[in-house]
Amino acid sequence: MVKLRLKRCGRKQRAIYRIVAIDVRSRREGRDLRKVGFYDPIKNQTYLNVPAILYFLEKGAQPTGTVHDISKKAEVFKELRVNQTK
């Protein structure tokens, strides 16, 4: 099963996170299938590759709680509903 989750990057006390599609059995820093965005909690910046996220969600990937909240703020799920109604 594939999950959309955060992968920690950056240095000590200055963490930034990549949002990645990764196999559930992999560890946090393990090899990811694809990078689909990043999140900087210090500067409160977010970049999401929405088509890639929608692709993985349509294939059955489950976002973690934090990734779900970030995606919800960016209104990714509204686009997912629009694509499903077509």
C-beta separation of 16 from 38 below 8 A: yes
Domain ranges for the chain, please list them: 1-83
Superfamily of 1-83 according to CATH: Ribosomal protein S16 (3.30.1320.10)
Give the residue carrying structure tokens 């929608």. 54
Summarize pLDDT for 4-51 with one digit per residue, the tens: 999 999 999 999 999 999 998 888 778 889 999 999 999 999 999 999
C-beta separation of 22 from 32 below 8 A: yes
d(CA 29, CA 66): 17
Residue 63 clears pLDDT 90, i.e. is over it: yes
Summarize pLDDT for 65-78 with one digit per residue, the tens: 999 999 888 888 77
As given in the structure block, the two tokens for residue 21 are 């599609």
- Residue 85's pLDDT is 64
